[in-house]
Amino acid sequence: MVSLAEVLRRHWAQYEQQFGQRIPLCHRRAVQAILACRTPALGGELYRCAHCGREHFVYHSCNHRACPRCGNAQASQWIARQKRKLLPVPYWLITFTVPEGLRDWLRSHQRPGYGALLKESALALQEVASRPKYLGAELGFLSVLHTWGRQLQFHPHVHCVVPGGGLSEDQLRWVQPKSPAFFLPQIVLAARFRTRLKAALLCHPEARDIPAEVWSQKWVVDVQPAGNGAGALAYLSAYVSRTALGSQRILADDDGQITFQYKDSQQGQWRRLTLNAIEFIRRFLQHVLPQGFQRVRYYGWLSAAATVRWKRILALLERRVPESAPRPAAPQATCPHCGQILTWIAHLARSPP
């Protein structure tokens, strides 16, 4: 297997020469972080084994969200926090997608485009749920922006994990869906999402570049049952603190041809895809989010500003949130030669720029 950092070390100069000033600053920062991760550039710690006397250098991680070597610990902590908020009701996973004709514009206008995707999908969901014929209540849910397909192609969409029910308008009752097998109509959600997103994007001065047929096409919103919600959270954790491609999936770098594996969504089998290095780097970097952009957002009575409504729902459902478990202590470093505990000796400063 080949690490992503190795691929970038070999081919970044060629990529930079080809695209030059067109490379966004956030892409450059991501590449710099990945190349520096766990190297002397970020400094580290020096340990010594009291048993065999060997010294070991442990370099710091970059903690950049695009780095495939970082993020596992953050993902586990995120899942633990979200599971504490799960309610004793059925959950639904609702996915908002956009037509292919809109994707090029979104890729070129990521900050306003992604922001509109998250905001308008949430408002469409709340608007449909508030109608008495469907639910007649306010929802509380989390939304996660996801931009990649299994072959690293650009496929922006929004996943929402939604409890099956909501708070009544007078905030005195918990309203359940009219049928346990049905939550909200997919066709109505898709039409409302399309209308809202069109109104939001057409306010952008460069929205004239969006093909007109996008707004007349049939859009797709998928509504699927998600059990108690724990499985949906585990599924989404891969998009919260991890990147589009883990290093364990890169199989080879032969003469500028990068081979990686992906799982076929239809048959569930692992397959291989080979791309030239420039195309591989381009596909990877197009999923690096703008600096400071929030991929995960909370809406309705799950938002940070809705503490009173959240406590009311807990009381209505007789749900007591468990105390948060103390963060486990970091495992002690052990000697790779004899397995004994290492003793910290010194801090290693970052390398000069």
Those residues whose C-beta lies under 8 Å from the C-beta of residue 302, and which sit 6 or more positions away, are 85, 140, 141, 142, 310
Number of H helices, E strands in the chain: 9, 13
326 inside domain: no
Cα–Cα distance measured from residue 129 to residue 182, given in angstroms and rounded to the nearest whole number: 12
Task: Give the pLDDT score at 193.
Answer: 98
190 inside domain: yes
170 inside domain: yes
Cβ atoms of 232 and 93 within 8 Å: the answer is yes
Going by their DSSP bridges, the two strands 221-225 and 174-175 should be labelled as: unpaired
Cα–Cα distance measured from residue 204 to residue 116, given in angstroms and rounded to the nearest whole number: 11
17 inside domain: no
132 inside domain: yes
Those residues whose C-beta lies under 8 Å from the C-beta of residue 7, and which sit 6 or more positions away, are 250, 253, 258, 277, 280, 281
90 inside domain: yes
Task: Give the pLDDT score at 135.
Answer: 95
Which sign, positive or negative, has the C-alpha torsion 264, 267, 271, 276? negative
Q: Which amino acid is at 202?
A: L
Going by their DSSP bridges, the two strands 140-148 and 296-300 should be labelled as: antiparallel
Q: What is residue 333's three-state secondary structure?
A: coil
Q: What is residue 335's three-state secondary structure?
A: coil
Q: Which amino acid is at 1?
A: M
Closest CA to 335 of 47, 70, 11: 47
Per-position pLDDT tens, the chain of length 353: 889 999 999 999 999 999 999 999 999 999 999 999 998 888 888 888 888 888 888 888 888 888 888 866 677 788 888 988 999 999 999 999 999 999 999 999 999 999 999 999 999 999 999 999 999 999 999 999 999 988 999 999 999 999 999 999 999 999 999 998 999 999 999 999 999 999 999 988 888 889 999 999 999 999 999 999 999 998 888 777 777 787 678 999 998 999 999 888 777 789 999 999 999 999 999 999 999 999 999 999 999 999 999 999 999 998 887 666 555 555 677 888 888 888 888 887 777 66
Residues in a beta bridge with 297: 143
Question: Where in the sequence is the domain holding 217, given as residue range(s)?
Answer: 85-243+292-316
- Give the helix/strand (H/E) hosting 297: strand 296-300
Q: Which amino acid is at 267?
A: Q
Q: State the burial class of residue 251 (Cβ atoms within 10 Å of its Cβ: 0-12, 13-18, 19+).
A: middle
Other CB atoms within 10 A of residue 284 CB: 26
Q: What pTM does this model have?
A: 0.88
Cα–Cα distance measured from residue 289 to residue 19, given in angstroms and rounded to the nearest whole number: 18
133 inside domain: yes
57 inside domain: no
Closest CA to 313 of 322, 305, 325, 321: 321
Domain count, the chain: 1
